[in-house]
Amino acid sequence: MAISEGNLDKPKIQVDNLCLWYGSFQALKSINACFRDRIITAIIGPSGCGKSTLLRVFNRMNDLVEGVRTSGKVLIEDISISDNNIDLVSLRKKVGMVFQRPNPFPLSIYENIVFGPRIHGSMNKSELDEIVEESLKSVLLWDELKSKLDNPALSLSLEQKQRLCIARLIAVKSDILLMDEPCSALDPYATARIEELMRELKNRYTIIIVTHNMQQAARISDEAGFMLLGELIEFGATENIFTRPTNKLTEDYITGRYG
């Protein structure tokens, strides 16, 4: 995934005219957007606006739901991911997801991190040890946990669990991180620490975060999109969205008139 400095502005993910239906309900309406590499893009909007659904398009997690149909195009590094015959395993390796509730497996810390690499076929103990160290270092947990790798992951604090979930993605060498309200189960202090981590990670990863915490979006994102009732109302630099939105609906939401 070596991307030269020159094409940082090239879109990592490009969405063209994307529509999505759950049965007869249309959850996404003609979405057009570009998500750039190595920045944090936030998607904001009220509950039920389709922001999580949009996020789940990028790693095809919507496939797990019955009766989902999509139309339009989604390109990740110029490769269409909407085809039926794309390799979902490598797509999901590349595009990792952090969920709302920290959800480590009921295994040891070590086993949680090597779960992905094992699934994808690396079995060598020293290789796995290295992956564990590297992944935990990336999420700044190594020093705290290096002597407790065999402890149950469920004994960790919520914040540590969420970091562990991020480490689990780093272990499979994802380069796009989808975060679905990753801090909504955390207290403000833990939230601040996870945000710090996200800033750290954005030098190496493309991060897309869904949040209904507008302060959070303003604090950490470089670009932001505002969604309402399945439509992407406005998309652009975070500063512009929050200081001079062009759309009346965005302005109403930002200023807290609804949502």
Partner 1 sequence: MRNPKRAEKIAFFFLFLATLLIVVPVGLIVVIIIQKGSPAINWQFLTDIPRQGMRAGGILPAIVGTVYLVLGAIIFALPIGVLSAVYLSEYAKDNFLTRIIKLAIINLAGVPSVVYGLFGLALFVVFFRFGASILSGSLTLGIMILPIIITTSREALESVPYSFREVSRSLGASKWQSISSIVLPNAISGILTGTILGLGRAAGETAPILFTVAAFYLPQLPSSIFHQAMALPYHLYVISTQVPNVDEKIRYGTALVLLALVLFMNLVAIIIRYKFRKKKKW
In the complex, what is the shortest distance from the CB of residue 9 to partner 1, in angstroms, rounded to a whole number?
28
* Amino acid identity, position 27: A
In the complex, what is the shortest distance from the CB of residue 192 to partner 1, in angstroms, rounded to a whole number?
25
Between 120 and 204, whose beta carbon lies closer to partner 1?
120
In the complex, what is the shortest distance from the CB of residue 168 to partner 1, in angstroms, rounded to a whole number?
7
Buried/exposed 12-36: b ≥16 CB within 10 Å, e otherwise: bbbbeebebbeeeeebbbebebbbb
Q: What is the DSSP string of 196-222?
A: HHHHHHTTTSEEEEE-S-HHHHHHH-S
Between 106 and 188, whose beta carbon lies closer to partner 1?
106
Distance separating alpha carbons of residues 89 and 100, to the nearest angstrom:
22
In the complex, what is the shortest distance from the CB of residue 68 to partner 1, in angstroms, rounded to a whole number?
14
Can you read off the two tokens belonging to residue 4? 């030269």
Phi, psi of 102 (to 5 degrees): -55, 125
Between 167 and 227, whose beta carbon lies closer to partner 1?
167
CA dihedral 64, 66, 69, 74 (to 10 degrees): 0
Angle at 240 between CA 235 and CA 246, to 5 degrees: 65
Between 152 and 236, whose beta carbon lies closer to partner 1?
152
Between 103 and 215, whose beta carbon lies closer to partner 1?
103
Between 108 and 211, whose beta carbon lies closer to partner 1?
108
User: Among 14, 58, 8, 59, which residue's Cα sits nearest to residue 38?
Assistant: 8
In the complex, what is the shortest distance from the CB of residue 93 to partner 1, in angstroms, rounded to a whole number?
4
Where on the chain is the footprint of partner 1 (CB under 8 A)? Answer: 59, 61, 64, 66, 88-93, 96-97, 99, 101, 103, 105-108, 111, 115-116, 118-120, 151-155, 165, 168-169, 172
In the complex, what is the shortest distance from the CB of residue 107 to partner 1, in angstroms, rounded to a whole number?
5
In the complex, what is the shortest distance from the CB of residue 97 to partner 1, in angstroms, rounded to a whole number?
4
Distance separating alpha carbons of residues 2 and 30, to the nearest angstrom:
32
Between 85 and 203, whose beta carbon lies closer to partner 1?
85
137, burial (CB in 10 Å: exposed 0-12, middle 13-18, buried 19+): middle
CA dihedral 67, 70, 76, 81 (to 10 degrees): 60
